[in-house]
Structure 1
Amino acid sequence: MNRFAELIDRLVLTPSRNGKLTLLADYFAAVPDPDRGYALAAITRDLEFNSVKPAMLRGLIAERMDPVLFEYSYDYVGDLAETISLVWPEKSVRANAVPSVSEVVGALQEASRREGPQLVERWLDRMDSSARYALLKLVTGGMRIGVSSRLAKQALANFGNVDVTEIEELWHGLSAPYEPLFAWLEGHTDKPENLAAAPFRPVMLATPLEDEDFPKIEPANYVAEWKWDGIRVQVTAERGVYRLYSRTGDDISATFPDLLEHMNFEGSMDGELLVARHGKEGPRIATFGDLQQRLNRKTVSPKLLRDYPAFVRVYDLLQDGDEDLRGQPFDVRRKRLEAFVAGLEPTRFDVSEMIPFEDWDDLAKHRAAPPHPIVEGVMLKRHDSTYVPGRPKGPWFKWKQDPFVIDAVLMYAQRGHGKRSSFYSDYTFGVWQEEGLVPVGKAYFGFTDEELKQIDKYVRDHTIERFGPVRSVEANAENGLVLEIAFEGLNRSARHKSGVAMRFPRVSRLRWDKPSAEADRLETLENMIEAAERAAG
């Protein structure tokens, strides 16, 4: 556990991607089975313990600390595991009394809900604060340490000197502690057989189309199709196994049973997950806000299934029965795709529409007048492009719509993480309504390092209140910092006081020149939503 604790501490404090990859690969090389495998499963969030829940941990600390004082501490720190690890009463620690990762996993997998908290309590008493933090992250599954599942797989690939796509295609046929995987990566055995039915196939991504790209590419070599504002997914059915994967290979099948019941095919398709309601005229694509009602659900009620029906607009065919089509040209795959989807349930699957165009000016006109407000641009794909994992430059381009832009006023700021931990870098901003400013979003990127220093100084100089790690800054009609905010779309939201939620907001410009009273009003955002709803029918 001490080695795992050291890894977690260093990952949290290491901001660079390459630094995290090195830390993980070194850990895999230094730590034996099965500890390294269980640590990997914890980092990729593939471990779950029914015997310990966060409420039980709160109960343990309540026996050792005044609950009000703990809540103040938790409010300041902002992380349950970190707070408990810091305030847990210290006892003398004996190194040989600290369990290994595999011992913790084995004990909790066999423990009841009564026994689980008792085990955690005994372990916490034996550990220092660093090990306590790692233990609590392990048992709660809250590994928010700046390491995605994809990054962990890349670290495995670096460790074994193989391509990450090999790891991704094997992943869903493996289970913790991954001993056959490590044996192969270390050269002791052959590559494990991919035993998973309906495996994930690493996706192909497009590069943004820049102004300098136009003279280098010939329009006649490309086809165009609409880029829909949903969630990129892979829909795969094999040997009676039905899976829906995110673009990073996460299995999200359980959240979308209404799609799985209509996967009466053998193959694998690449497409965009949307919500669509059907009528006589075909599918009516709903807003991204409607799709959000279906995302990240552990359970899906009949009402959600009825009100927000899942739908996939398909882009590509990767596997047709036993035939792998990824090495075929796009035009061949597209023709096969149209025949493939023709036999599927039309209220759940259809094929993305192609856009006929003569030249770039012609395509620009189409891009400027999309057929639906949920279209966020166009895709360009070479006629002869094979389906290559990753983001190769040239075969596919994405030409997104210009973002929406408003002027908002900075209201609150919070410290960042990693290399930004000493700066106020997370910003809540608002727009005007009759009662004053109302928060409409948060942003933490889009500005340069120099601009970050300028905003940080502004926050410190104009703080009027403190709420734990958050500072409230001066923001009124006479004084305030105006931020130009770019975003991809708007949705209605009952969870927000303003009634609106932004999609991908970021700071596009600092408006030191603009008086705060001249920032936008809430009515501006409401009008944007109403215009989109009218266009959507």
Structure 2
Amino acid sequence: MKAFATLLDRLVLTPSRNGKLKLLTDYFRDTPDPDRGYGLAAIAGTLEVRSVKPAMLRELVLERMDEVLFRYSYDYVGDLAETISLVWDRESDAEHPLQPRLGAVIREMNGLGRTEVRAYVRGLLDRLDTSSRFAFLKLVTGGLRIGVSARLAKQALADLGGKDVTEIETLWHGLAPPYEPLFAWLEGRTDRPVLATPAIFHSVMLSTPVGNGDLDGLDPADFAAEWKWDGIRVQLTGFGRERRLYSRSGDDISGTFPDIIDAMNFEGVLDGELLVGGTARSNNPTRTFGDLQQRLNRKTVSSRMLDDYPAFIRAYDLLFSGDRDVRGETYVERRDRLTAIIDSSPHERFDLSPLVPFSNWTDLDALRKAPPDPVIEGVMIKRLDSTYQAGRAKGPWFKWKRDPYNIDAVLMYAQRGHGKRSSYYSDFTFGVWTELDGKDQLVPVGKAYFGFTDAELEQLDRFVRNNTTDRFGPVRAIRATHDFGFVVEVAFEGINRSTRHKSGVAMRFPRIARLREDKPPYEADRLETLMAMIDGDAAEA
């Protein structure tokens, strides 16, 4: 437990990506099995450990501390786990000589009966030092957020074993904590793990936003266009009896969408957009992202929810046809295969993303600005001869959004609100990426304090409290890096150049249009995109 707690402390205090990578690689190399595997699972979000309710933790600490003093301490610190780890009063002043190992703690917690949890947690808090208490409490309350993404952890594994990170990602969803076969392979002690099923997540192909001049010199005849639908990107896999639905970041969301899983009648791996409403073949309208949100992040889905918000997939591409890897085939060849699959699949759950006919970029631009459906947010442009490549390779795929006044930004700072919001962090400063001093950095571009629901406000407030890196009076700095942070879609009425702001831009009436938990920070927009919006408005005027 001590080694894991030390790792967390150092990760929090290390701002650079390379520094975090080295810390992770050293931990995976120097820590024995199964502790390192459980540590990896905790960081990557795949650890299953018996949870402990915050109410029970409060009761335990109040057995040994005045309630008013605890309340003041909690209000000052702002995080329950951190507060308890600091104020916990051992029954004995002597530190326990033997700190339990992480693997032992995980196994013991998962083996406890309901009535045994309270006594075990109390005894363990007495045995642990301050940093280990904090790490333990974060694990069992589900609040472990340290500025390290699952992708960064996988890169550290790749560095450890001298592998390509795509190899790690290919294996990832076919293995389980504590990942001992994975570490044995990385260290050269065994062959590459053989997965029982190929029904796993594969790295998705990403597109490049269209900027000024990006389409100049490109022949429209070499490209196909599809509508860009306002849902969430998913990957559906099925082999044998295994059926899985993954988000774009590789999270298994199968349990939230049983209607999709049950309807899959083919084998392979499909790339598409998850939407609610009616498919094109059902003649019912596709519904908005707000309707889709009713289905997201639910542990259980009622029959009424399934009826009121029916989900379907609008298919974009095909990675595997049966057990055949077709990613090396051209876009045209893959689409032909995909068309045959969708034609024979249930019409109420699957349809094909339609092609948008165009002969030149001017015509496509006009279609982009006036799409036939309000759920369309732009067009996708894909080379006819493009293979399916993991990651973002500039050239094969482009995205050209309809509304120039919507961007994806990363939360950077937060401040408490006023009135009924005085106890919540509800005023947010957000930023986008730009190159400064030779490297990508976030630069603030605006502030927003409305546009979200009360439930979303609680979610944002919780993220701020769990991921504060610094305080400036009433303002909290939020952890925001290339791989870790909270992405929001910001809508605004206009944008102008400004000498009063470091970024050089000023927005009119910005608001948070939606939370983008499905999008990693490095996919947020860039300052150059905002500057292009200003230049575009000037040209039209």
Which residue of 430, 435, 438 corresponds with 1:444? 430
Partner of 2:85: 85
Partner of 1:289: 290
State how far apart, in whole Å, the 2-side matches of 1:186 and 1:9 are: 26
State how far apart, in whole Å, the 2-side matches of 1:512 and 1:208 are: 26
Partner of 2:312: 311
Partner of 1:399: 400
> Taking structure 1 as reference, are residues 123 and 334 closer, same or farther at Cα in structure 2, changes over 3 Å only?
same
SS at match of 1:388: coil
Contact 1:484 1:509 in 2 (8 A): no
State how far apart, in whole Å, the 1-side matches of 2:19 and 2:443 are: 28
SS at match of 1:345: coil
State how far apart, in whole Å, the 2-side matches of 1:60 and 1:54 are: 10
Larger mean Cα displacement after TM superposition, 275-284 or 38-47: 275-284
Partner of 2:46: 46
1:383 maps to a residue whose letter is L
Partner deviation per Cα, 1:237-272 (whole Å, 9 max, x = no partner): 111111001112111101111111101111110001
Partner of 1:149: 150
Matched, 1:162 2:160: no
State how far apart, in whole Å, the 2-side matches of 1:441 and 1:289 are: 22
Tell me the CA shift for residue 278 of structure 1: 6.3
> Taking structure 1 as reference, are residues 133 and 361 closer, same or farther at Cα in structure 2, changes over 3 Å only?
same
SS at match of 1:97: coil
1:269 maps to a residue whose letter is L
State how far apart, in whole Å, the 2-side matches of 1:454 and 1:277 are: 40
2:360 maps to a residue whose letter is D
Partner of 2:359: 358
2:490 maps to a residue whose letter is P
Partner of 2:110: 109
Partner of 1:478: none
Larger mean Cα displacement after TM superposition, 214-223 or 186-195: 214-223
> Taking structure 1 as reference, are residues 93 and 399 closer, same or farther at Cα in structure 2, changes over 3 Å only?
farther
> Taking structure 1 as reference, are residues 372 and 428 closer, same or farther at Cα in structure 2, changes over 3 Å only?
farther
Partner of 2:215: 214
Partner deviation per Cα, 1:375-427 (whole Å, 9 max, x = no partner): 12111111111111111121111112344379xxxxxxxxx99xx7xxxx225
SS at match of 1:344: coil
* Structure 2 counterparts to residues 188-203 of structure 1, below 5 A: 188-203=189-204
Partner of 1:504: 489
Partner of 1:139: 140
> Taking structure 1 as reference, are residues 199 and 376 closer, same or farther at Cα in structure 2, changes over 3 Å only?
same
SS at match of 2:354: coil
SS at match of 2:270: strand
State how far apart, in whole Å, the 1-side matches of 2:229 and 2:293 are: 15
Larger mean Cα displacement after TM superposition, 52-61 or 130-139: 52-61
Partner deviation per Cα, 1:321-344 (whole Å, 9 max, x = no partner): 122111110000011111110111
TM-score, normalization: structure 2? 0.77
* Structure 2 counterparts to residues 506-521 of structure 1, below 5 A: none
Contact 2:432 2:443 in 1 (8 A): no
Partner of 1:24: 24
Contact 1:85 1:133 in 2 (8 A): yes
Query: Where do 5+ consecutive residues of structure 2 fail to align?
Result: 419-424, 458-486, 502-506, 514-541
Contact 1:245 1:252 in 2 (8 A): yes
SS at match of 2:139: helix
Contact 1:230 1:272 in 2 (8 A): yes
State how far apart, in whole Å, the 1-side matches of 2:510 and 2:211 are: 33
Equivalenced residues, count: 463
State how far apart, in whole Å, the 2-side matches of 1:405 and 1:251 are: 28
> Taking structure 1 as reference, are residues 54 and 365 closer, same or farther at Cα in structure 2, changes over 3 Å only?
same
Partner deviation per Cα, 1:313-372 (whole Å, 9 max, x = no partner): 110011111221111100000111111101111111111011111111111111111122
Tell me the CA shift for residue 73 of structure 1: 3.0
* Structure 2 counterparts to residues 485-496 of structure 1, below 5 A: 493=453, 495=455
TM-score, normalization: structure 1? 0.78
State how far apart, in whole Å, the 1-side matches of 2:311 and 2:282 are: 18
> Taking structure 1 as reference, are residues 70 and 229 closer, same or farther at Cα in structure 2, changes over 3 Å only?
farther
Partner deviation per Cα, 1:191-218 (whole Å, 9 max, x = no partner): 1112235111211111122213222432
Q: Percent of aligned pairs with the same residue?
A: 54
Partner of 1:11: 11
Partner deviation per Cα, 1:268-292 (whole Å, 9 max, x = no partner): 1000111114699624111111111
Contact 2:491 2:510 in 1 (8 A): no
Larger mean Cα displacement after TM superposition, 245-254 or 272-281: 272-281
Partner deviation per Cα, 1:144-201 (whole Å, 9 max, x = no partner): 1112222211221121111112111211221111111001101111111122351112
Tell me the CA shift for residue 67 of structure 1: 3.3
Larger mean Cα displacement after TM superposition, 87-96 or 210-219: 87-96
Contact 1:11 1:145 in 2 (8 A): yes
SS at match of 1:214: coil
2:155 maps to a residue whose letter is Q
Larger mean Cα displacement after TM superposition, 293-302 or 88-97: 88-97
SS at match of 1:213: coil
> Taking structure 1 as reference, are residues 61 and 274 closer, same or farther at Cα in structure 2, changes over 3 Å only?
same
State how far apart, in whole Å, the 2-side matches of 1:441 and 1:375 are: 30
2:17 maps to a residue whose letter is R
Tell me the CA shift for residue 68 of structure 1: 4.0
